[in-house]
Amino acid sequence: MTSDTPDDTNPTPPPIRSGEAPVVASDSDEQPLHTSQLGSGGLAQQTSETQPAVAVLKVCPHCGTEYETAARFCPADGTALRPKGSDSLIGSVLAERYHILKRIGEGGMGRVYLGEHVKMNRQCAIKVMSPALVNDAESASRFAREASSAARIIHPNVAAVFDYGESDGLVYLVMEYVDGEPLSRMLAREAPFAIERAIDLARQIADGLGAAHELGIVHRDLKPDNILVTRSRSGREIAKVVDFGIAKAMQEGAGEALTRTGLVIGTPEFMSPEQLLGDPIDARSDLYALGCILHLMLTAAPAFDAPTREQMIKRRLSENPPHAQELDPGIPDSIDRVIVKLLARTPNERYGSAAEVRDALSGVHARRLSSDGTVLPRKETPRSAATVTFGAATLDEVAAARAAARAAVLAAPSGSTKPRRRIWPWVLAVIAIVAIVGSTLMRKSRETQEQRYARAQRDSAHRADSVRRADSARADSVSKAVLVGGMVDSTRLAEQARKDSIAKIGSSLRDGVVAAIRSYTNAVQRGDLAAARAAFPQVPEEELARWQKALEKYDLKFRVEPPKQVVLSDRDLVADADVALVVTYVDRATKEVTSTNRLPRHATLTKQRQRWQLDVFKPR
């Protein structure tokens, strides 16, 4: 890797601190980079807009003059400038490649420095992890694995990871430098945000999360502190999510280190119920945190606000999601519904992906107005200093929080004085009774269905035998009529008329069956669930839920392939037929057909006066 700066303009390398190995700026591509894991080539592959270098406080060791500049050399005598600061890392060269310029942040996981690659002359952010968290070969390997996964995320709304490694006992992570400020600081200063601004930032965060989730990477600690906001050249605010995978690397197998430091990764105010309870989590846990952030941006108040964390967690696990409109009636109904769905207690009730959240936030969302056209006033809420109020929890706090969470889930009804353990025999008894009753009902239903099919088969066999005997008798009659002049033609005409009548009756019966099925599918296609239930009273709620979910993204087109045969039973009041339901999915955004599915179904219908009504419509 060669230097980006010609030798005549870059006469001397960066200063070397005492006791450190010198850094040789060779033009050869063979110089090894001992501790790098990804290689600094990632710095040359940034997809975001190139930002100007940041000026830092530096001093000339020759003339003693101090400068706040991004330049590397003293303008007076050309001597290499040294960064000024009390931190022992400032001014040093980390891993023989990164010149530490200044400290720009500090948290429970470690310190963040502004650095500059000694050859590429490009600035970057360097996170040096706390030695208490990465203290052995196993934890370092775990950190490297998660950092390598995070480096695969290439998206404008994610701060890119370029390099990681270990040098002189320090584990470090090299990231894209974002010249902005944390969302938490902006919330403390400016919340609540305008609706358009909050939705724009939330969409960008959802886009960044979606890029990570597609690679199977879950953030686990999404909060305003981990979202940096910068500006593009056009002045638009750009949100960038940082620290993907770091929370998982620090949590797995880090119990002893956490005991020593008293720190637990995660912020309860933005953690999902399943994460608070220590249950397995997936991408939907990040979407819950996004809902908390969107609620905070729009109302300046945290979701499930309470005086203490324990009370907040109890509310989160026992109450329905809050409506942001209670604090700001001007929030559009569509956005209020998005927040409620993001904050659902169980993952299955939330959006399935970040892309669904982004689509739900698309379009124009104007503030609601009162009946007289005036702007609805917000409810006054104290601005939340997120960087202070939402700090990382200690071990004692998390232990108390999880105890409160378990208590909220397992607690007896209010006013009960019996010990909690006595509830379980009753719960088990109820479960056993429900299981027995359900098994009995299913068995009876299955027996009834089998009896109906057997009866239909017998009726069909008798009817077929009668038709065969009638056809045989008519054939004998026609044969005899050949001997009588003029009678053959009349008999044949009568036979043809009978066949036409039978065909017309069969066609009418098939049309009636298809019309009953179409009444149900047309109602589903319109999204009219009441009409769908009226056309098919026994429709499973799970089936309606699947159709409704599909209608959120697609326009559905149904086509019913008529049955080849309809079998009548129960004095012709019950009809059974095998049909095929052809469903075409049309993307609402692009108006293009995405797929067409052919669903074989068995339909059982009952005669209701002059029409047929669906009784069973199941896959076959």
The candidate with the shortest Cα–Cα distance to 313, out of 413, 409, 392, is 409
Query: Does residue 192 register a pLDDT over 90?
Result: yes
Which amino acids are annotated catalytic? Answer: 221
- The identity of residue 109, as a single letter, is M
Whole-number pLDDT of residue 265: 55
In whole angstroms, give the CA distance from residue 425 to residue 430: 9
Are 587 and 600 contacting, i.e. CB atoms less than 8 angstroms apart? no
Quick check: 222 pLDDT over 60?
A: yes
Res. 593 pLDDT band, cuts 50 70 90? confident
Task: Considering only residues 167 and 248, tell me which one the structure prediction assigns the higher pLDDT.
Answer: 167
Residue showing tokens 């005086």: 307
Q: Which pair of structure tokens corresponds to residue 158?
A: 């994610």
pLDDT at 121 over 50: yes
Q: Is the pLDDT of residue 42 over 50?
A: no
Torsion angle, CA of 497/503/509/510, rounded to 10 degrees?
A: -160
More confidently predicted of 451 and 188: 188
Asked if pLDDT for residue 479 goes beyond 70, the answer is no
Element (H, E) at 467: helix 423-481
pLDDT greater at residue 28 or residue 343: 343
Q: Is residue 296 scored above 50 in pLDDT?
A: yes
- Give the whole-number percent of the chain exceeding pLDDT 90: 28
For the cut 50, the answer to whether the pLDDT of residue 387 exceeds it is: no
464: pLDDT strictly greater than 60? yes
- Amino acid code (one letter) for 151: A
Instruction: Give the whole-number percent of the chain exceeding pLDDT 70.
Output: 68
**H or E element at residue 605:** strand 593-608
Strand order in the sheet with 181-182: 181-182, 227-231, 237-241
Report which of 127, 209, 122 is spatially closest to residue 164, judged by C-alpha positions: 127
**Dist CA 94 CA 33 (whole Å):** 11
Residue 385's identity, in one-letter code, is A
Residue 263: predicted pLDDT:
42
Banded model confidence at residue 365, pLDDT cuts 50, 70, 90: confident
Q: Is 4 helix (H, G, I), strand (E, B) or coil?
A: coil
d(CA 323, CA 239): 25
Q: Is 176 in contact with 124 (CB distance < 8 Å)?
A: yes
| Type of residue found at 475 | A
Confidence check: pLDDT of 75 > 70: yes
Rounded Cα distance between 296 and 301, Å, is 5
Q: Where are the beta strands (DSSP E) in 77-175?
A: 82-83, 93-94, 98-107, 110-117, 123-129, 161-167, 170-175
CB-facing half-sphere around the CA of 55: CA atoms within 13 A = 4
Q: Mean pLDDT across the stretch 429-446? A: 77
Rounded mean pLDDT of the chain?
77
Among 147-151, 422-426, 586-590, the range scoring the smallest mean pLDDT is 422-426
**Exposed/middle/buried for residue 330 (C-beta within 10 Å: 0-12, 13-18, 19+):** middle
* Candidate ranges 63-77, 337-351, 390-404, 560-574; pick with highest mean pLDDT: 337-351
Compute the distance between CA of residue 564 and CA of residue 584 in angstroms, rounded to an integer.
22
Q: Identify which of 555, 266, 563, 592 has the alpha carbon closest to the alpha carbon of residue 405.
A: 266
143 vs 135 pLDDT, higher one: 143
Mean pLDDT, residues 434-457 taken together: 74
Helix, strand and coil content of the chain, in percent to the nearest 5, comes to 40, 20, 40
Q: pLDDT grade, residue 17 (50/70/90)?
A: very low
In this predicted structure, what is the pLDDT of residue 86? 64
Structure tokens given for 577: 């037929």
Q: Which helix (H) or strand (E) holds 395?
A: helix 395-410
**Confidence check: pLDDT of 394 > 60:** no
Of residues 42 and 84, more confidence is placed in 84
Asked if 174 contacts 148 with a C-beta cutoff of 8 angstroms, the reply is: no
Of 277-286, 464-473, 503-512, the one with minimum mean pLDDT is 464-473
What's the pLDDT band for 400 if we cut at 50, 70, 90?
A: low
Q: Tell me if residue 221 falls in helix, strand or coil.
A: coil
> Encoding tokens for residue 409?
């889930």
How far apart are the C-alpha atoms of 43 and 225, rounded to whole Å?
Answer: 24
The whole-angstrom separation of Cα 320 and Cα 317 is 8
Taking residues 208-224, what's their average pLDDT? 92
- Mean pLDDT throughout 515-527? 89
pLDDT at 51: 59
Q: Which domains are delineated in the chain?
A: 7-26+54-153+164-175 (3.30.200.20), 197-410 (1.10.510.10), 506-619 (3.10.450.50)
Which has more confidence, 27 or 605?
Answer: 605
At 290, is the pLDDT very low, low, confident or very high (cuts 50, 70, 90)?
very high
Name the nearest CA neighbour of 525 among 467, 570, 583: 583
Give yes or no for residue 350 having a pLDDT over 70.
Answer: yes
The arithmetic mean of pLDDT across residues 490-508, rounded, is 66
Dist. CA 85–CA 106, nearest whole Å: 15
**pLDDT > 80? residue 55:** no
Among the listed ranges 9-18, 211-220, 239-248, 277-286, which one has the minimum average pLDDT value?
9-18
Query: Are 516 and 611 a contacting pair, CB within 8 Å?
Result: yes
Decide: 370 and 330 in contact? Cβ < 8 Å. Answer: no
Highest mean pLDDT among 308-317, 353-362, 604-613: 353-362
Cα 580 to Cα 517: distance, rounded to the nearest angstrom: 11
Residue with tokens 């004998």: 476
